Structure 1
Amino acid sequence: MARSKAVVETKNASRYLQQLCKHWSHKFTVDFTPTEGRIDFGDGRVVELQANEASLSVEVDSPDLQRLEQVVADHIVRFAFREELTFVWTPAG
């Protein structure tokens, strides 16, 4: 399974983590706290998030890695309309 990671600088990491998890909790298996989240989309597709005071770490595990990276980034960017976020995905292992 392919895995990648992006660390996004933002002081609102916990807010975005919680928004994303709440958003998808109606359709998928989601567990989260203010600092950690896990979204299981099924079929081996999982997103794990960690928030601290300076950044949001996002790890994606999926057979169609680029697609899930884009979907996750697009959702977070929509939540963060007041600031410009940059996602740079790197292989994670």
Structure 2
Amino acid sequence: MFTTKGSVKTDKAAKYLVQLCKHFAHKVEVDLGETTGNVAFPMGPCVITAHEDRLTFDGQSHKPEGIESMKGVIIVHLDKFAWREAPLDYHWEDGETPAP
């Protein structure tokens, strides 16, 4: 399983969490909580968490291309919602979990 952990600093994390999850819910299953959203992307699941000063992303995919696609989808959409804060500074840490 391939993984990614990402973060982006923003003072509007809670607002963007809701916007992202509501937007993604038009096409995929989303479970939105108070500070987290579980998004069932076709390439794999991603948990988006709103913190006081940042959004974090914790995604998984069976293929490395799925991780790149997931990051691309998140960046494109968040950049549109947060255009007043552009450019956003994303930090990603990709990895791979060993097969059982």
Same fold (TM > 0.5): yes
Point out the structure with max Rg over C-alpha.
2
Q: Distance in 2 between matches of 1:77 and 1:27?
A: 19
Q: Distance in 1 between matches of 2:17 and 2:81?
A: 10
Instruction: Determine if the alignment matches structure 1 residue 19 to structure 2 residue 19.
Output: yes
Identity, in percent, stands at 34
Q: Distance in 2 between matches of 1:33 and 1:11?
A: 19
The 5 Å alignment of 1:1-93 reads 1-42=1-42, 45-62=44-61, 63=63, 64-84=66-86, 85-91=88-94
Mind listing any 5+ residue stretches in structure 1 that lack a counterpart? none
Q: Distance in 2 between matches of 1:15 and 1:33?
A: 13
Aligned length: 92
Mind listing any 5+ residue stretches in structure 2 that lack a counterpart? none
Q: Which runs of 4+ in 1 moved over 6 A?
A: none
**SS of the counterpart of 2:45?**
strand
Q: CA RMSD in A?
A: 1.5
**SS of the counterpart of 1:16?**
helix
State whether residues 60 and 67 of structure 2, in contact with CA within 8 Å, keep that contact through their aligned partners in structure 1: yes
TM-score w.r.t. length of structure 2: 0.83
